Structure 1
């Protein structure tokens, strides 16, 4: 069968770890528009008091660095499975933040077993990470554990398209100007992404309520709301 006609009704998992080349290219790619939109959304929705924020799979730290500019008194933690990504994030912090700006904590860990106490955070966010996770229910259970009751949740990820032709069109539209490595990784990520229905089932299995799962634009899904433990 022609690859472009292949259905993506089933998820095609990709490795949880990026290669070194993928990490370097991803860190150099321009995601400034969606990252700034997410940072502004988090600060607007969770405004009102200083927050304890964790970004799961923070990568090169761009979203947290953007949040820091808008929320100088928040306690920010970036968690990632990759030492290289955290090294890039630390370097970016030194380059982009003034010396007297409150620093961001960088934590080397994975999303299944975070080195954080129960109820540590009142804002939990994650961007473009869920599709890497093989055991998504455990990922949500860990969010449930580290979040306090009523915590704001902002989880954004790619949404699996219905077929290969749509996936390739999205790659061309959104990262067609990036390197071949980024384009190939983006296509793999679309194939590996979850649907809204699959994510709703994951939340139910993890006994999490209070969150809405909805489609966003032509390629994302977003999970948001105030978490309740059921």
Structure 2
């Protein structure tokens, strides 16, 4: 099935609210667990970068899992960042910095980071090389990368089944977003081709029926 792009940014209040209030705990906890399999908690570097932080749910979970880290979390949607800032617990506010930043970016909050992580950003980008080139731009040489994203289904019927399986209890606007995101996602073979083209030797592994995990060193 051919890829169908979707808008790069979520800025509509209703859309953002539905996304921010949805229950992504299973997928998001899985992402954090996959990272914890790669890095012992007390060995995570003290400063990390999150690309496409959205409403901040992954941001919070990462901060709780790695309590010595400061997170610079960036997103292109100010509406999303407003939700992220509002929901950030008081005890994490000294360790999380939110920035409005649209990729590709000329400058990041810091010039280089030893760890860059991202969830559900890749499928939003019309040009996937925006992400891969950003990793090379801002990641320390030898720095770690952790990315999770959706995998494009083979057919429309498979996409609809995934929406039914995982979002049937959510508001219609969220079901529509999930469906569109599935159609906008990349296949594993496409991701591997992209990485090969830019010279990034990262592992690409399917970890659920709808998610891919991409990790390795820059």
TM-score (norm 2): 0.92
Asked if structure 2 preserves the Cα contact closer than 8 Å seen for 1:73 and 1:102, the reply is no
Unaligned 5+ segments in structure 1 are 1-7
Asked if structure 1 preserves the Cα contact closer than 8 Å seen for 2:11 and 2:80, the reply is no
- In structure 2, relative to structure 1, the CA distance for the partners of 1:174 and 1:67 (3 Å cut) is same
Q: Which residue of 1 aligns with 2:208?
A: 217
Asked if structure 2 preserves the Cα contact closer than 8 Å seen for 1:51 and 1:123, the reply is no
SS where residue 98 of structure 1 aligns? Answer: helix
- 1:176 matched to 2:171? The reply is no
State the Cα RMSD in Å: 1.8
SS where residue 50 of structure 1 aligns? Answer: coil
Alignment match of 1:158 (pick from 137, 150, 161): 150
Alignment match of 1:125 (pick from 117, 139, 144): 117
Q: Which residue of 1 aligns with 2:178?
A: 186
Larger Rg: 1
- Aligned equivalents of 2:106 and 2:147: distance in 1? 17
Single out whichever of 131-140 and 33-42 deviates more from structure 2. Answer: 33-42
Q: Deviations over 1:48-101 (max 9, x none)?
A: 2533211111011111111212222212111100111111111111xx2327x6
Q: Which residue of 2 aligns with 1:84?
A: 79
Alignment match of 2:64 (pick from 69, 80, 96): 69
- TM-superposed CA distance for 1:38, in Å, is 1.7
- Aligned equivalents of 1:43 and 1:120: distance in 2? 22
Unaligned 5+ segments in structure 2 are none
Q: Runs ≥4 in structure 1, deviation > 4 angstroms?
A: none
Q: Which residue of 2 aligns with 1:51?
A: 46
Asked if structure 1 preserves the Cα contact closer than 8 Å seen for 2:113 and 2:139, the reply is yes
Asked if structure 2 preserves the Cα contact closer than 8 Å seen for 1:118 and 1:145, the reply is no
- TM-superposed CA distance for 1:19, in Å, is 4.3
